A = this chain, B = another copy of it.
Amino acid sequence: MKPVNVGIVGLGTVGSGTFNVLTRNAEDITRRAGRAIQVTHVGARRDNPAADTSGVKVSRDVADVVADPNVDVIVELIGGTTLAKDLVLAAIASGKHVVTANKALIAEYGNEIFAAAEAKGVNVAFEAAVAGGIPIIKAIREGLSANQIQWVAGIINGTGNFILTEMKEKGRDFADVLAEAQALGYAEADPTFDVEGIDAAHKLTILASVAFGIPLQFDKAYTEGISKITAEDVSYADELGYSIKHLGMTRKTDAGIELRVHPTLIHKSRLIANVNGVMNAVMAMSDAVGPTLYYGPGAGAEPTASSVVADIVDVARTLTTDPDNRVPHLAFNPNSLSDTPILPIDQIGTAYYLRITAKDTPGVMAKVATILSDSGINIESLLQKEVDVANGQVPIIMITRQVKEQSMNVALEKIEIQEEVVGSVMRIRLEQLDG
């Protein structure tokens, strides 16, 4: 079969990684694909010493790559949602297949992009957009195609997981570890996207759509960051048998679909609670297979390139397929996507970890217990620590049974106005993740 000509747009970390993997592993990739996969055109505003593009056509105007009639597949690796969106739509309009690692672009504009692609009969492949090198889109869209998927939970931001792992292993504070992560290059100078959960919410939005066959609805995702987690919360959780992870959770219930990213207590006996450092993992619960878990590097030049190149090989295979008989972009055929609503966070039930700081006066525990009980909240376990002699305050730590967020909000408002209670109550959701 004739070679597939690839145009790479963007020669940053992932762009150079993709170029290098395609070059270094050309022989094995050809043995697998049955045809050569060759980079014939690179679009980049400047060279990148990490990739030796000598012998390959390089354009400073990235639009030249999209306009190149010899290019079969456009690999979009410039990031962002402005120029990248225009380029992807232009590539589709010219009948080219697209491979992208751009989670923001797919999560926010995927519905429009896929509709355009389907109208033109081309693929837009995005394995690299979720969990870097883990083939999770393939696993869910194809590997689990027999199943009704019940929930998908993921540690899908390496920066956040690195910070929480360091906080736990070294007993350090959030700000301290963040500064180290920035120095190591694991966190951006502006860490908002990572630590506030926006990056994870982009990825989770995509996972929810391929798991449940719903349109992408990033604007409805609930997002809560890890910056308020303290070293003492990490330590108390550990004492109770739990790790705190920044978890993306999407679950299909009778009432609707949960779509939420927030710090989460997970029992240490669960495999996913032992995913540490910058590594990612995604766990899916499905009706036929039960629990499955997928683990690997969630970022980095070559891990991400691994997924980009796998997508290119998959696209090469579809070049001789009836477009109606390909794997649909969102796993389910576009005319059969479901309109199941996304639930607002206050309608979602979870168990909770609570840390209440109280003055050391008699009866405070009874008051708190009564308020919780009156709100229908049951206590699963309780940890009462010694009084801090310096300020006469005592932390009350507890884990509750599952309760709707709305009820918890009402109970915590009542608790916080008690005169014995100091400041606000720390609450962190808890997931069983059975399996």
Q: List A residues at the B interface (Cβ < 8 Å).
A: 1, 17, 21-22, 24-25, 28-29, 31-34, 127, 133-135, 138-139, 141-148, 213, 271, 274-275, 286-297, 302-303, 305-310, 313-314, 316-317, 319-322, 324-328, 331-333, 336
Contact = CB atoms under 8 A, between A and B. Distances in A.
Contacts of A302: 287-290
* Copies of this subunit: 2
A139 B142 contact: no
A287 B22 CA distance: 12
8 contacts: A17-B288, A32-B141, A33-B145, A135-B138, A135-B143, A143-B310, A287-B302, A317-B325
The 4 closest A-B pairs by CB, nearest first: A135-B143, A146-B309, A292-B296, A133-B289
Contact of A133 (B141, B290, B314): B290
A168 B259 CA distance: 39
B295 A290 contact: no
Nearest to A22: B146
Contacts of A31: 213, 332-333, 336
Nearest to A296: B292
B325 A1 contact: yes
Nearest to A136: B143
B325 A146 contact: no
Nearest to A312: B146
Q: Most B CB atoms within 10 A — which of A139, A146, A286, A314?
A: A146
Contact of A29 (B17, B21, B146, B309): B146
Contacts of A135: 138-139, 142-144, 292
B331 A32 contact: yes
A24 to B, nearest CB: 8
A376 B29 CA distance: 40
A11 B113 CA distance: 44
A183 B233 CA distance: 44
Contact of A333 (B32, B146, B321): B32
Given A148-B25, A317-B325, A295 B310 contact: no
A229 B47 CA distance: 58
A289 B287 CA distance: 30
Contacts of A24: 287
Contacts of A332: 28, 31-32
A146 B288 contact: no
A133 B325 CA distance: 24
A293 B296 contact: yes
B331 A146 contact: no
Contacts of A295: 271, 291-295
A286 B306 contact: yes
Contacts of A316: 325
